[in-house]
Amino acid sequence: MLEVHHGKELDVTRFIALLFTLMGACEAVAAEQPDRVRESSEGHYNASLVESLLAEGTPRALVLAATSLPYAGNPAGLSRQALLDRAAQAAPDDPFVQWFAALYTAPATTLSEPAKAVLRLEPDNGAAWMFVLQAASEAKDENGVTEALAHLGAAAAFDEHYVDFTLAWMEAFRAHPRPAQPELDREQALAEEPLIMAMARSTALALPAFSSLISACSDKSVDLLAGRRDACIAAARLMAGQSTAIISRGMGNALLRRSGAPEAATAMRDFEYINSRYALLSSTLECDPVEFDAFEADWMETRNEIQVAERALLRDGQLLQPPSDWQPDDGSLPPVDRTGCH
């Protein structure tokens, strides 16, 4: 999904590594289950879940079913695109449905009908202009790319529906729980929580491709194309300041640095501080059921992953701004003391 061309883009890989700390731990736990039994039960569970979502038949249920067909092995040979088209036709005014129909449409030099619908429904959502940017990039229309970036940067918000998708999956997993598994330890039990399962699925399925954005704001493009640097900085500022998802905020901060924005170093330092502290606190959720309940409530109340992180820090008595002597680490997290956790 991400293309890294220069040494200064190492910060992108660092924030992604931190973001995936919790998800990686949960996947590792799942991998430790008896392989064949786990694979069989996992496949059966996901197949049953897809069948239930298809039977529900609402446009949003069809989106969830369509995007997760690979988890079920797709034994019926269903078409993801056909299901998404059906959902989009049934809900022409639902931004969530149109977003995912657009997200899974193959890149082309013209906008898909769902992408047009997203722009119509959410004209002030900078993320919607990612589809225009991608089409202009496919058409090698450099002026169109700059114009799309300028529209992105002038928007009021940046919502890639990652949080919406996560909460929709959390409700689906709650409504269709996994079969009980005996003798799970706390870490394994955490991996079975609907919210954690939903976060992992959203991370795999809901994120837009940022490659066109990275290419548009490469050193060559910024240096040679009139207006490109200002457009990149505007887009980066919106993502870094308004996105509700950590990965998009991190991408915005990385693009601030890449485009030479004057506030880039301070903004990235602030972001890395929040993200690293959040990742560390998240990695110990299985040790504290009360904290997990608060974590889950924060997701539902704020619908904003950044605010979830900030609330976690405040409950732990930490600052929301890095202390003056704080320095970003090398991308690794300190060991977690789980004494008495199991």
Residue % of the chain over a pLDDT of 70: 84
Residue 322: pLDDT over 70: yes
Tell me the mean pLDDT in the region 242-257.
94
Q: What is the pLDDT of residue 337?
A: 53
Distances (CA, A) of 109 to 84, 138, 160, 335: 20, 5, 21, 48
- Chain segment 46-77, per-residue pLDDT in tens: 999 999 999 999 999 999 999 999 998 887 88
Helix 264-282 with 10-31: angle, nearest 10 deg: 10
The model's pLDDT over 133-160, given as tens digits with 9 standing for 90+, comes to: 999 999 999 999 999 999 999 999 999 9
Taking only the tens place, the pLDDT of each residue in 171-182 is 999 999 988 777
Task: Give the separation between CA 211 and CA 335, rounded to whole angstroms.
Answer: 33
Q: Cα–Cα distance between 54 and 52 in angstroms, integer?
A: 5
84 and 62 Cβ atoms separated by less than 8 Å: yes
Query: End-to-end CA distance of the chain, in Å?
Result: 36
**Average confidence (pLDDT) over 232-261:** 94
Single-letter amino acid code for the residue at 130? M
Is residue 337 classed exposed, middle or buried when 0-12, 13-18 and 19+ CB atoms within 10 A define those classes?
A: exposed
Rounded Cα distance between 48 and 43, Å, is: 9
pTM exceeds 0.75, yes or no: yes
* More confident: 19 or 311: 311
Tokens of 49: 């879940």
Residue 309 confidence (pLDDT) above 70: yes
